A and B are shown apart, each in its own frame.
Chain A
Amino acid sequence: MRALIVDDSVLARAMLARALKESGIPEIDQAEDGFEAIEKIRENAYDLILMDCNMPNMTGLDTVRTIRNEGKEMPIIVVSCESDQRMVAEILSSGANDYIVKPFEPKTISGILRKVLPDSSKQDRDL
């Protein structure tokens, strides 16, 4: 199981990486913006993407659309500060599977993983 965290904030990436590790995800890569994320996704196979929304260079929304346009179907969870319901609706219609508002509790991440990764409970047991 390999995940990619995409966020321009070092703190956010650290918090997400900690939550993923606690949820039993063994391999975690990081990208600082959408361009770097797309490059990594083209070169590696990821089972899960955690994506910020409000980033410099390329927004999370545009990054999600680009990933989907390239035919990648892994679950994408947008993790963003933005709480506006219209924004959430736009994010989900862009191709993201789910949405988490910052700040989050680690258990929120594990709950979402159980939803979007069918074998995540098995993953926990295997570790």
Chain B
Amino acid sequence: MDQPNSSGGDAQAKRPVAIGSGMTSTKHEFRAEYVNPFIRSVSNLFRTLFKCNVERKEVVLKRRLPPNLDIVALAGLSGGVRGLVALAFPVRTALAMVSRAYDERIVVVDDKVLDAVAECVNIVAGGAQSELASAAGTPIVLSLPTVIRGNDFSLEYPALRNWVEVPFTSELGPFSIRITIAANRSESDSNASIDCG
């Protein structure tokens, strides 16, 4: 796996990352063309909506996700691919983002904040949609977003066992994007579940 360095700010966030070489799993291998569109989309979201550059840290492939951050926004992908994309934020990052977007100080996680992180994952998935469709050869359908608050849960996607996690830092705080995705060869195994502990 090509380990990207963590310097270079926004330009570095936009640089494609090689994922897949030498990384195999029991179920499938991640394809870089399925992950890079999300990285570019995250960078575009923060630059346009939050007027903020992001810095991508080391990309990791995991069977199990690391401990959850406080707020997770999820969107499902179907059609040419199947999978989930999740944006995970500490509370302070989410509050800083939403404060900047509204240009007012927001100090409590309320419906406004949850709505905003849902819109963020929607935008990130939508931004990646076109490139994913090109890679998969067929259109990609996005689900409506879901937001989970708290840490006592695990994300499971039974049809796919590996997750790519891409951590980012920014002046608004750290966050990460987590992706599990594969070409859709069967419609029957595309059920996701969330195991609340």
Q: What is the interface residue range for chain A against chain B?
A: 20 to 34
Q: In the complex, what residues of A have CB within 8 A of residue B130's CB?
A: 83-85
Q: Contact: B119 with A11, CB < 8 Å?
A: yes
- A/B pair count, beta carbons within 8 Å: 65
Cβ-closest chain A residue relative to B126: A81
**Bound complex: CA of A101 vs CA of B131, how far in Å?**
14
- Asked whether A9 and B49 contact (CB < 8 A) given A54-B122, A84-B139, A102-B123, the answer is no
Q: Contact: B139 with A87, CB < 8 Å?
A: yes
| Stretch in B22-30, B110-118, B148-156, B183-191 with 4+ CB within 8 Å of A | B110-118
B84 is an interface residue with CB less than 8 A from chain A:
no
Minimal beta-carbon separation of B129 from chain A (angstroms) = 5
Q: Contact: B123 with A81, CB < 8 Å?
A: yes
Cβ-closest chain A residue relative to B41: A83
Q: In the complex, what residues of A have CB within 8 A of residue B49's CB?
A: 15, 103
Bits for A61-104, please: 1 = Cβ < 8 Å to B, else 0. Answer: 00000000000000000001111111100000000000001111
Q: Contact: A84 with B127, CB < 8 Å?
A: no
Q: How many residues of B contact A (CB 8 A)?
A: 26
- Enumerate A86-127 residues with CB–CB distance to B below 8 Å: 86-87, 101-105
Cβ-closest chain A residue relative to B121: A81
From B98, B112, B115, B142, A81 is in contact (CB under 8 Å) with B142
From B44, B115, B140, A9 is in contact (CB under 8 Å) with B115
B133 is an interface residue with CB less than 8 A from chain A:
yes
Q: Contact: A84 with B116, CB < 8 Å?
A: no
Q: In the complex, what residues of B have CB within 8 A of residue A56's CB?
A: 144
Which 9 A-B residue pairings sit nearest by Cβ, starting from the closest? A81-B126, A103-B48, A83-B130, A9-B119, A11-B116, A103-B49, A10-B115, A11-B119, A81-B122
A-B contacts, 24 of them at CB < 8 A, read A9-B116, A9-B119, A10-B112, A10-B115, A11-B116, A12-B119, A14-B101, A54-B122, A54-B142, A56-B144, A81-B122, A81-B123, A81-B127, A82-B126, A82-B129, A82-B142, A84-B130, A84-B133, A85-B130, A86-B139, A101-B126, A102-B122, A103-B48, A104-B48
Beyond the given A83-B129, A103-B45, please list 16 additional residue pairs across the A-B interface where CB-CB is below 8 A. A10-B111, A11-B98, A11-B115, A12-B119, A14-B101, A15-B49, A54-B126, A56-B144, A81-B123, A81-B129, A83-B127, A83-B130, A101-B126, A102-B119, A103-B44, A104-B48
Residues of A within 8 A of B (CB): 9-12, 14-15, 54, 56, 80-87, 101-105
